């Protein structure tokens, strides 16, 4: 089946949103925690976290245009910090409910029944229930001119994680701690490891590590 850019543009709006949101493949599931200047905690579900570099350790998230209220973006602009918290299997209902448009003065933590945890080093709340929580300092908010979205770039300043979740080579055993993955807008999946491979080199066949 072949679809042109015109075919995509002519799709009904919600159908197109579901379709195009599936095209990048499986996505991460993270709750972004922020605190407003007036002290209200905010929690929002993002599937757009992207690795930007290991040294300095940098991650990005995409925020949609601020033509309507975007609490996460506003809070990061005002306070300079955010937290990123992995969604695991037993948290998916609470996480998905965070996508509802609560008023700015309502804390999603209270609304969906998750527990905020404070850091000694920054104002953004962590999600106590998460198995991996990351504190980030905003380094830059870049405007994506073509559609007025934003790439929010954060530098990792602290990580809270269960010791046993880190494998010998440094990789986090995401599957063992039941971190989930998202497809489209609203499908949540667990995973099963096929293989871990060794580093690929041009002059030797690929070998399975695990």
Stretch that binds its own copies, among 33-41, 52-60, 74-82 (CB under 8 A): 52-60
CB under 8 A: which stretch of 34-42, 71-79, 97-105 binds its own copies?
Answer: 97-105
Question: Which helix (H) or strand (E) covers residue 61, if one does?
Answer: strand 57-63
Q: Are 122 and 157 in contact (CB under 8 A)?
A: yes
How many other CB atoms are there within 10 angstroms of residue 143's CB atom? 11
Residue of 38, 39, 54, 105 that binds its own copies (CB under 8 A): 54
User: 113 in the Ramachandran plot: left (φ > 0), alpha (ψ -120 to 50) or beta?
Assistant: left
Residue 20 sits in the site that holds its own copies (CB under 8 A): yes
Positions of E strands within 65-123: 81-86, 116-117
Which positions from 100 to 119 touch its own copies by CB under 8 A, shown as an x/- string? xxxx--x----x--------
Task: Find the Cα–Cα–Cα–Cα dihedral 20, 26, 30, 32, rounded to 10°.
Answer: -30
Q: Is 67 a residue that touches its own copies (CB under 8 A)?
A: no
Q: Does 18 bind its own copies (CB under 8 A)?
A: yes
92 binds its own copies (CB under 8 A): yes
Interface with its own copies, residue 68, by CB under 8 A: no
Q: Nearest distance from residue 75's CB to its own copies, in Å?
A: 19
Min dist CB 156 to its own copies, Å, is 6
Binding test (CB under 8 A) with its own copies, winner from 3, 37, 66, 113: 3
Q: Is 132 a binder of its own copies (CB under 8 A)?
A: yes
Asked if 177 interacts with its own copies (CB under 8 A), we say: no
Q: Which of 27, 35, 82, 126 binds its own copies (CB under 8 A)?
A: 27
Q: Of 41, 97, 104, 128, which lies in the binding site for its own copies, with binding defined by CB under 8 A?
A: 97
Cα separation of 99 and 95, whole Å? 7
Antiparallel, parallel or unpaired: β 116-117 and 27-28: unpaired
Cα distances from 101 to residues 7, 98, 191, 202, in angstroms, run 31, 8, 29, 50
> Is 180 near its own copies (CB under 8 A)?
yes
Whether residue 35 contacts residue 44, with contact meaning beta carbons closer than 8 Å, is answered with no
State the nearest-atom distance from the C-beta of 79 to its own copies, in Å: 18
């Amino acid at each position: 089946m072949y679809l042109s850019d015109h075919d995509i543009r002519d799709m009904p709006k919600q159908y197109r949103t579901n379709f195009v949101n599936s095209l990048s493949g499986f996505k991460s599931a993270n709750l972004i925690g922020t605190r407003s200047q007036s002290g209200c905690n905010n929690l929002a579900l993002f599937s757009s976290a992207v690795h930007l570099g290991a040294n300095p350790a940098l991650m990005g998230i995409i925020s949609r245009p601020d033509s309507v209220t975007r609490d996460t973006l506003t809070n990061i602009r005002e306070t300079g910090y955010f937290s990123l918290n992995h969604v695991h299997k037993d948290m998916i209902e609470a996480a998905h409910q965070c996508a509802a448009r609560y008023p700015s003065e309502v804390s999603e933590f209270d609304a969906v029944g998750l527990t905020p945890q404070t850091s000694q080093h920054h104002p953004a709340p962590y999600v106590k229930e998460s198995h991996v929580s990351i504190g980030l300092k905003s380094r830059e908010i870049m405007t994506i001119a073509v559609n007025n979205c934003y790439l929010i770039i954060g530098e990792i300043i602290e990580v809270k994680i269960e010791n046993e979740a880190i494998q010998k080579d440094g990789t986090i055993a995401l599957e063992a701690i039941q971190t989930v993955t998202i497809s489209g807008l609203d499908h949540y999946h667990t995973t099963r490891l096929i293989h871990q491979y060794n580093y690929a080199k041009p002059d030797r066949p690929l070998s399975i590590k695990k």
